[in-house]
Amino acid sequence: MTTPPKNTSGRGQRELRVRVKTAKGRKLSSTLWLERQLNDPYVVRAKREGYRGRAAYKISELDDKYGFLKPGARVVDLGCAPGGWCQMAVERVNALGQNPKKPIGTVLGVDLQEVEPISGAQIHQLDFLADEADALVKGWLGGKADVVMSDMAAAASGHKGTDHLRIIALVEAALAFAFDVLEEDGTFVAKVLAGGAEIGMQTLLKKHFKKVANVKPGASRSDSSEKFVVAMGFRGLRDGDQGAEPDHDA
């Protein structure tokens, strides 16, 4: 089970904070971001434990609570760069077969950009919105997925309302993809931003999944409006279902 980073410095509860001076030609905002990264315990822990980013601990915390990354599961990670979620999934579903007593899972990551290889995962450069993407993914998996997960976020515009609408549109697109590639009783996990426009999406999730939870894991920064939706027990689509076309009047 994933636990929050602990103080291992031997200095009691007080840690030495790294200060970064603003270099010539570098904006103050960039300096502040760099300083925050250097002092973030999850960033430090990820570097120490070999994960590609602090986001790995977000998916591990969600899985610790809901247990969807089971050994033997087939997992699709949409927008997988830089790869932290894939790394964690490889461990949890036993994709490398390191535990011979448990079934071996499959982890497939897709992203618009090229991603450095990850041991135990299949990585494909692919636009998941492309017409052929669903069929390609099912072909690579050799069937449907048990989990579709997404930590994607649209490029920030600087306007909170616009960014919220953009990420909801992205999550809805990921959900439409999941409807086609998920096995019945499968799980959908995605990042959203709190803001109100997700009401239609929540209605759609509750219609097609047995249980829907909205969670802010401890690894999410306290000043971030991000949260994660975990939808479990996919009911499948029936004749007459409209798929991922939310009722925005709900």
Examine the residue annotation and report whether 191 is marked as an active-site residue of this protein: yes
Distance CA 193, CA 188 (A): 16
The pLDDT > 90 percentage for the chain reads 57
Q: Is the pTM of this model over 0.85?
A: no
Mean of pLDDT values over 210-234: 89
- Residue 211's H or E segment, with its range, is strand 209-215
Which listed residue (144, 191, 206, 227) is catalytic?
191
Rounded to 5 degrees, φ, ψ at 47 are -65, -40
pLDDT given at position 35: 44
pLDDT for the residue 160: 66
Give the annotated binding-site residues for S-adenosyl-L-methionine.
83, 85, 111, 127, 151
pLDDT tens for each residue of 92-141? 999 999 999 999 999 999 999 999 999 999 999 999 999 999 999 999 99
Distance CA(210)–CA(231), nearest Å, equals 8
Token pair for 48: 């120490």
Which candidate, 227, 229, 211, 231, places its Cα nearest to that of 219? 227
Domain boundaries, the chain: 18-49, 53-234
With CA atoms as reference, report the closest residue to 153 among 164, 144, 140: 164
For domain 53-234, say whether CATH 3.40.50.150 is its number: yes
Question: What pLDDT, in 10s, does the model give residues 170-197?
Answer: 999 999 999 999 999 999 999 987 655 5
